[in-house]
Structure 1
Amino acid sequence: MKKTQIGKLTSRRSMLAGLAGSLVLAAGPAASVHAQEGLGTADNPVEVRIMANEAFANTWQTLLVPEFNKAYPNVRVVFDGVPYTELLAKMMLDATSPNPEYDVLLVDDPWVPQLAEIGALVDLKGEKVAALTGDDYDWDDFNAAPLAAGEWQGVQYAVPVRSNMLLRFYNRTLYEEAGLPEPTPEQTWDEFFADAEKLVRDADGDGKDDRWAIDTYFVREPLTPTIWQSILNANGGSLLDESGSPAFANETGVKSLETHKRLLDYAPPGALGHGFSESLQAFRQGLVANMFNWGSVYKSTAVDPKSTTLTVDEVGIQVLPVGDVQAGAHRGIWIAGVSSKTEELEASWAFLEWLTSKEGESINASLVGSFPARKSTLNGEPAEPWLGPVYETLQQAYDVAAKGKMWRIRSPKSDAAQQILADEIARGLAGQASAEEALDTAAGKIEKALK
């Protein structure tokens, strides 16, 4: 019987452990310390501490770590959840501490440059980690867009572990009730708005609209500009030009922001204050026909009856509408890297290698709903039937994102730039400034911030 990826890794590491034991016998008591390192033993397990977003840290601890321990029983993995708004700052503090607590950092898409610049992360393709990596790990099997989220200036500092993409969710029942055909990935923005006119309606006959066409990010916060940017990229625009200067304060940028603002005309009352949670709740309750949100919520939105009123048959998922050039999406990959100061390099990489292996990705997708990054996983047999159409959409989103460079600014100053965009896009959406004024102001401030 052919060994699985995990079986190969386990056999290989068992061989290393056996070799270490032989060396101990040959070298005597002085070498015994080394036998307790690496992947640990039953008597002396090693511990790997991971700093992660509190939104999923506990779930991974509960569901994924036991699966990992089937292959590596002597590596104790401990997740510490931190609120998203505090996560980067705590990572930076820990990485620069003379006595850091964490071995692995779970990092959001735009943060790799900041962490790389302070030397916080190990080169995962470098000599030390390469010596610990199984021959069949296959870096080339990763899709380019998610893998690139962990790269900075030619060095691979992190690997994709929760490959999120901004996608379009739609409610088939609400489209049918409005007498509309199911939307397709080829639907343009003009066609989207034509449908939106019919999707806003009074479903219970009391004279007041109680169903709406769309809900998404409108609130003043750093993820709201990703909606505008996905439209910008679909229209052929970009955040920066080849010289690294802002390139969005133009006709394409203005048109794209006005499209984002127009969505408010077909959104629930009070939508200007809506973001991730509010739009998710409205969609799960069957109140809105479309939602632009992160694909990782699909399982909890369409599959899990504990968190949604909808079913798999009701929820469609695809890329955002087509602009002047192509469909829209936006990359929001969670990647994981090993701390450059870790004393548990082998065990830390063992966990990440397992998690991002072909089998580990399938386990992660099936148990947690995390999206895989590998082409072979997306093209293979999904672990659960509901993953089939999701994988098809995800592959399309990766291709679209790679072509249109659909991600946030890549720079050690990316957080500052994103906050500027959050402030100015919010002004434009709220009507406190014209789209042209908001983007001109943002471009000027970002030009200074990136210098």
Structure 2
Amino acid sequence: MAGAALAGALSFGLSAHAEGLGTPDDPVEIHMLANEAFANQWQQNMVPEFNKAYPNIKVVIDGVPYSELLAKSLLDATGPDPRYDILIADDPWVPQLAEAGVLLDLKGDEVAGWTADDYEWDDFYAAPLAASEWKDVQYGVPLRSNLLLMFVNKSIYEAADLPAPTPELTWEDYLEQAPKLVMDRDGNGQADTWAIDTYFTRDALTPTIWQTIMNSNGGKLLTDDGKAAFNDETGVEALKTHIKLLDFAPPGAVSHGFNESLQAFRQGQTATMFMWGSVFKGTAVSPETTTLTPDEVGIQIMPVGSKTGGAHRGIWSGTINNKSENRQAAWALLEWLSSKEGEQWHANTLGVFPARKSTLDSTPDSEWMAPVFVALKNGYSVAGEGGMWRPRTPKSDAVQQVLADEVARAIAGQITPEEALDTAADRVNDVLN
């Protein structure tokens, strides 16, 4: 499949407008700034495939730590002589980059003249595509899609004589079953298996758990006019649910985040984990990182609230600096990687989650990805329905840090959920005003 797909990419690549795409005697060099977590993988694996279609475009990818990426992107893009033609932006960053005036409109006339007729913007699921839209302008394309999902250790549910969860599982059902999943399986008189591990510590992503619970019950993070909307009964009850999960988590889980919860689940210590779906391969497939096997691990949307199921969007989008002198070559790369053919290659070769309907309706080359495709289709739908994403504002990072502070204080028992959300609302309104 991947070979045929890239043959198609080669065809449209070489038949595209030659201007701006380089020649053998005068190649074009473009520079990309990306998260170091995947920059090297792209440089080593993706760029050689891209060059089969566009041999005269040299691509240099610089990776930096996540914590430094937004600041470096803004510093470079707003400078008088930017180095980077392509900026890879996390889900909540596009509004800030767009408001800085540094991004190219990818549906504008200039880019439209370079875009293949069969690119089909409408083939993208609305939720991931919207991650790089701001004020009705499309500034990016989804390149590495992700969702907060529910991982399930089926063998623990079987040991507890409970049915394996389905996407119809409600929060009430989940919490009713949770005590039965805390078990002493080795008979030494102490629990060695727990129901859940996830984000509990102070971390920018910890509020996404609470927010997903709130959204699934019809709550909102912000009003339409940009004011805090989360310090109501729905928000408070959702935070209480997040805190209640600690009753069924491993000892010390109040300080757990990404690494700790991932390790506990991979070692077979927890029945469920609310985590980013992109870790599925390392959690269910790769023996060097997990004790589990694909037939033991389920993946699906988070439990259903009063309005909808739960998921939370996390999309890495490709954007172009509008001051770049190599805009056409930069778009050639983004178009290739996000095209139907390029996305299928990306998913099947590197295991990266897709955002196109056509890809998710196809049969993946790797059997382990089949349940992931189903979970993504369900997750994109509920995320779109419930507005399940981090703040959509140029001040999203500041808002997220406020939420991280106050949610963590409530989880640690330092203040009540009501106090935490009222304080967070006041601080968020100050930030946004």
TM range (shorter): over 0.9
Deviation at residue 384 of structure 1 after TM alignment: 1.7
Give, as a single letter, the amino acid of the residue that structure 1 aligns with 2:239: L
Aligned to 1:99: 81
Aligned to 1:133: 115
- Work out whether residues 167 and 318 of structure 1, in 8 Å CA contact, stay in contact via their aligned partners in 2: yes
Deviation at residue 209 of structure 1 after TM alignment: 1.1
Deviation at residue 302 of structure 1 after TM alignment: 1.3
Aligned to 1:404: 386
SS in 2 for 1:109: coil
Aligned to 1:415: 397
Give, as a single letter, the amino acid of the residue that structure 1 aligns with 2:160: A
Aligned to 2:103: 121
Does residue 276 of structure 1 match 2:297?
no
- CA change 1:182–1:12 in 2 (3 A) is closer
2:273 is matched with which residue: 258, 273, 291? Answer: 291
SS in 2 for 1:190: helix
Aligned to 2:231: 249
Does residue 218 of structure 1 match 2:200?
yes
Aligned to 1:428: 410
**Residue deviations 1:365-394, cap 9 Å, x none?**
122221111111111222222221111110
1:152 is matched with which residue: 131, 134, 150? Answer: 134
Aligned to 2:14: 14
Deviation at residue 186 of structure 1 after TM alignment: 0.7
- Work out whether residues 221 and 422 of structure 1, in 8 Å CA contact, stay in contact via their aligned partners in 2: yes
Measure the CA separation in 1 of the matches of 2:204 and 2:107. 31
**Residue deviations 1:160-198, cap 9 Å, x none?**
111111000011111112211111111111211122111
Does residue 176 of structure 1 match 2:158?
yes
Does residue 301 of structure 1 match 2:283?
yes
Give, as a single letter, the amino acid of the residue that structure 1 aligns with 2:79: S
SS in 2 for 1:48: strand
1:328-339 alignment, distance < 5 Å: 328-339=310-321
| Uncovered stretches (5+) of structure 1, i.e. residues with no partner | 21-36
After the TM superposition, which of the residue ranges 174-183 and 421-430 deviates more from structure 2? 174-183
Measure the CA separation in 1 of the matches of 2:135 and 2:303. 32
**Residue deviations 1:7-27, cap 9 Å, x none?**
45544443456xx6xxxxxxx
Aligned to 1:164: 146
**Residue deviations 1:127-165, cap 9 Å, x none?**
111111000000011100000001000100011111111
Aligned to 1:90: 72
Give, as a single letter, the amino acid of the residue that structure 2 aligns with 1:409: P
**Residue deviations 1:298-323, cap 9 Å, x none?**
11211222222211111100000011
Measure the CA separation in 2 of the matches of 1:202 and 1:385. 33
Deviation at residue 45 of structure 1 after TM alignment: 2.5
Give, as a single letter, the amino acid of the residue that structure 2 aligns with 1:419: Q
Aligned to 1:27: none
Measure the CA separation in 1 of the matches of 2:11 and 2:137. 29
SS in 2 for 1:227: helix
Measure the CA separation in 2 of the matches of 1:161 and 1:14. 22
Does residue 445 of structure 1 match 2:427?
yes
- Work out whether residues 194 and 250 of structure 2, in 8 Å CA contact, stay in contact via their aligned partners in 1: yes
- CA change 1:413–1:387 in 2 (3 A) is same
Aligned to 2:365: 383
Aligned to 1:202: 184
After the TM superposition, which of the residue ranges 230-239 and 177-186 deviates more from structure 2? 177-186
1:64-83 alignment, distance < 5 Å: 64-83=46-65
Does residue 362 of structure 1 match 2:321?
no
- CA change 1:281–1:439 in 2 (3 A) is same
- CA change 1:138–1:6 in 2 (3 A) is farther
Measure the CA separation in 2 of the matches of 1:63 and 1:4. 17
- CA change 1:191–1:91 in 2 (3 A) is same
Percent identity, please. 61
Deviation at residue 42 of structure 1 after TM alignment: 2.8
SS in 2 for 1:213: strand
**Residue deviations 1:336-388, cap 9 Å, x none?**
10111212112111111111011111111122221111111111222222221
- Work out whether residues 347 and 353 of structure 2, in 8 Å CA contact, stay in contact via their aligned partners in 1: yes
Measure the CA separation in 1 of the matches of 2:91 and 2:168. 27
- CA change 1:279–1:308 in 2 (3 A) is same
SS in 1 for 2:29: strand
- Work out whether residues 14 and 54 of structure 2, in 8 Å CA contact, stay in contact via their aligned partners in 1: no
Does residue 348 of structure 1 match 2:326?
no
2:29 is matched with which residue: 47, 55, 58? Answer: 47
Measure the CA separation in 1 of the matches of 2:336 and 2:119. 9
SS in 2 for 1:49: strand
Question: Which of the pair has more CA radius of gyration?
Answer: 1
Measure the CA separation in 1 of the matches of 2:284 and 2:45. 20
Measure the CA separation in 1 of the matches of 2:234 and 2:137. 33
Aligned to 1:235: 217
Measure the CA separation in 2 of the matches of 1:52 and 1:72. 21
Q: TM-score, normalised by structure 1?
A: 0.93
- Work out whether residues 298 and 369 of structure 1, in 8 Å CA contact, stay in contact via their aligned partners in 2: no
After the TM superposition, which of the residue ranges 57-66 and 436-445 deviates more from structure 2? 57-66
- CA change 1:163–1:16 in 2 (3 A) is closer
SS in 1 for 2:98: helix
Aligned to 2:91: 109
2:307 is matched with which residue: 325, 334, 338? Answer: 325
**Residue deviations 1:394-440, cap 9 Å, x none?**
01111101111111111111111110000000011001110000000
